[in-house]
Structure 1
Amino acid sequence: MQAKERISDTGKARIAGVDLFCGAGGLTRGLEKAGVNVTLGVDLDPECEFPYEANNDAQFLLKSVSEVSQTELASAFDGAQYKLLAGCAPCQPFSTYQQGKSGPSDDRWHLLMEFARLVEETQPELVTMENVPRLAEQDVFLEFTERLEGNGFHVSFEVINCADYGVPQQRNRLVLLASKLGEIKMIRPTTPQGKRKTVKQAIAKLPRIEAGEQHPKDPLHQAAKLSELNLMRIRASKPGGSWKDWDESLVADCHKKATGKTYPSVYGRMVWDEPAPTMTTQYYGFGNGRFGHPEQDRAISLREGAILQSFPKGYKFVRKGAPVSTKTIGRLIGNAVPVNLGRAIGQSIVQHIEEVEGRKADQEEAA
């Protein structure tokens, strides 16, 4: 019997996961799709509770990771043969968007050490973390990996492009995998260059809406209003272009200055036949990046941004009938781990377990 068959015969309960800094559930949903049974998500943002529990077969714990105890995680892992501690510590302190504004005094830097504390207290067999690439340059990341290795983990990490793993978006992320069972690494790209999912494949079939309009059947399919000036600007914008394509009369004063000319990736449209640019927490604003719809005169909708983060089209972010806060939902979606990246991470872990059990079975058979 092959190792893969042994895994599927026993079901998801073989690998139980806890998702720290779980947000709206992107990583959890991806791990579940790969066959990992995520039992608990932890986050201190109360806005995450509804989308997390409404879309995933896991409980939500409203708590800072710095306050989570060993006992709480032990109960979540109860009965599992393999324990996985997963998460994405807040990336803002390490993001290039901070441009040096955040340093070691930022309390969020220390959350990675709280992650390490929980690894040491619960001793799972498996650990995964994803974050912005710049984290790998920080001393706190070196300390984190050294603590994992000191606890018997084999550690690997690399910067990957989410577009290589079924996400219709150019998004570079640092992915760490660690195992006490042996060497572990990410699976090979599932959608490499030439096969990447495009904006057209992801959102072209959604109903047409105007700027400032909300679709009656999907409250999240709503687009921000545009001023008359911005409406003229988006009509003058080319897919893949920027404000540099406009007539001089449309260019903002800040961009006419020498310092403003270094920000070309704003006020642009996406390109149908390419992956989207990186989704940020403000992707719903036309002036916040290259977030203009490829052909409609508006920024992409909240739902379109979620789909470009590879959330399922029916993923619920607010209760039925509840008001939709653009700023809140945009933040939850922009901060999320893309679901398909989570799935690839989960597939890497499941494949690792299959290989470990396959070697074990071969050794027992040879004995």
Structure 2
Amino acid sequence: GKQVELVQPEIVSMENVPQLRKDPVFEKFISLLKCNNYFVDWKIVYAPEYGVPQKRKRLLLLASKLGEIRLLEPTRTRENYPTVREAISELRPLKAGETDKEDFLHRARKLSALNIKRIKSSFPGGTWKDWDEKLLPDCYKRKSGESYKSVYGRLEWDEPSSTITTQFVGYGNGRFGHPEQNRALSLREGAILQTFPKDYRFVEKLEETSFVKLAVQIGNAVPVKLGEAIGESIKTHLENNKFLS
């Protein structure tokens, strides 16, 4: 807010978690924008409506000094949401701990012998409740485990994926199991589900960073197609207000 007051840019954009809308700081920020003569528009968007194959909801805000500004209308409906199958089914099969010889980012984390047994007992869209009792972590044997139904899950081929977080390379961290192969998502698969180009190189060699740091970078990113929708919305707004010719 202070930076907006100081710089007074023509356009302001913000992307955040949906829960922010319930925080008093969000109301304060909107009031600050309006007091500084900005037209403000914000909404909770569902990423598949903008071509992102994951069930990600985000709060997007656009503000402008030039006039009313709006996020472009969604490009997809429930009938044609992008799916995990469309995104990653053509990638070369991997085993847990393996790296594709032709793409060092198509690399999956190793799994313990116990987690190999668990993922073999899992099916797309299922939960750990499908497992034999002896495979369950102790905390899931109690009622307190009820709220963790999506962890240790497999993705479904013909649905968008679950939200890609910084933890997507870990099978036990969410519904990040591959639909068929006995492993968690690879770095490349997570990046593709974030709609980075399929050949995008974050680094020249994996040795320049670490597996975990790359997963954090990918998981923290605004999905590329969502960023594109924000950029196109701003560009259209500027053209409509004769700011761009």
For Structure 1 versus Structure 2, the TM-score category normalised by the shorter chain is over 0.9
Is 1:265 aligned with 2:150?
A: yes
Pick from 47, 50, 57: which aligns with 1:165?
A: 50
Partner of 2:63: 178
Q: Which runs of 5+ in 2 are unaligned?
A: none
Post-superposition offset of 1:324:
5.0
Q: How many residues align?
A: 245
Partner of 1:189: 74
TM-score (norm 1): 0.65
Q: Structure 2: how far apart are the matches of 1:320 and 1:269? A: 29
Post-superposition offset of 1:318:
2.1
Is 1:349 aligned with 2:234?
A: yes
Is 1:154 aligned with 2:55?
A: no
Deviation digits for residues 247-292 of structure 1 (CA, Å, limit 9, x no counterpart): 1121111100111122101111000000000011111011111100
Q: Structure 2: how far apart are the matches of 1:290 and 1:134? A: 21
Is 1:225 aligned with 2:110?
A: yes
Is 1:117 aligned with 2:2?
A: yes
Post-superposition offset of 1:204:
0.6
Q: Structure 1: how far apart are the matches of 2:205 and 2:178? A: 27
Is 1:198 aligned with 2:104?
A: no
Partner of 2:185: 300
Post-superposition offset of 1:152:
0.7
Q: Structure 1: how far apart are the matches of 2:120 and 2:177? A: 10
The aligned amino acid for 1:238 is F
The aligned amino acid for 1:142 is E
Partner of 1:276: 161
Q: Structure 1: how far apart are the matches of 2:117 and 2:66? A: 59
Is contact 1:162–1:171 with CA below 8 Å preserved after alignment? yes
SS across alignment from 2:241: helix
The aligned amino acid for 2:49 is D
Pick from 101, 122, 127: which aligns with 2:12?
A: 127
Q: CA 1:285/1:321 → structure 2, altered by over 3 Å: closer, same or farther?
A: closer
Is contact 1:210–1:298 with CA below 8 Å preserved after alignment? yes
Deviation digits for residues 9-59 of structure 1 (CA, Å, limit 9, x no counterpart): xxxxxxxxxxxxxxxxxxxxxxxxxxxxxxxxxxxxxxxxxxxxxxxxxxx
The aligned amino acid for 1:240 is G
Q: Structure 1: how far apart are the matches of 2:22 and 2:59? A: 11
SS across alignment from 1:322: helix
Is 1:252 aligned with 2:137?
A: yes
TM-score (norm 2): 0.96
Is contact 1:212–1:223 with CA below 8 Å preserved after alignment? yes
Q: CA 1:321/1:139 → structure 2, altered by over 3 Å: closer, same or farther?
A: closer
Partner of 1:142: 27
Is contact 2:105–2:206 with CA below 8 Å preserved after alignment? no
Pick from 225, 242, 260: which aligns with 2:127?
A: 242
The aligned amino acid for 1:341 is L
Deviation digits for residues 307-340 of structure 1 (CA, Å, limit 9, x no counterpart): 1011111222223362552211111111110000
Is contact 2:41–2:62 with CA below 8 Å preserved after alignment? yes
Partner of 1:312: 197
Partner of 1:49: none
Is contact 1:267–1:291 with CA below 8 Å preserved after alignment? yes
Is contact 1:242–1:264 with CA below 8 Å preserved after alignment? yes
Q: Structure 1: how far apart are the matches of 2:199 and 2:94? A: 18
SS across alignment from 1:160: strand
Q: Structure 2: how far apart are the matches of 1:249 and 1:122? A: 60
Q: Which has the larger radius of gyration?
A: 1
Q: What is the CA RMSD across the aligned residues, in angstroms? A: 1.6
Q: Structure 2: how far apart are the matches of 1:323 and 1:352? A: 40
User: Which deviates further from its counterpart, 271-280 or 243-252?
Assistant: 243-252
Is contact 1:219–1:324 with CA below 8 Å preserved after alignment? no
Q: Which runs of 5+ in 1 are unaligned?
A: 1-115, 362-367
Q: Structure 2: how far apart are the matches of 1:245 and 1:326? A: 31
Q: Structure 2: how far apart are the matches of 1:137 and 1:268? A: 30
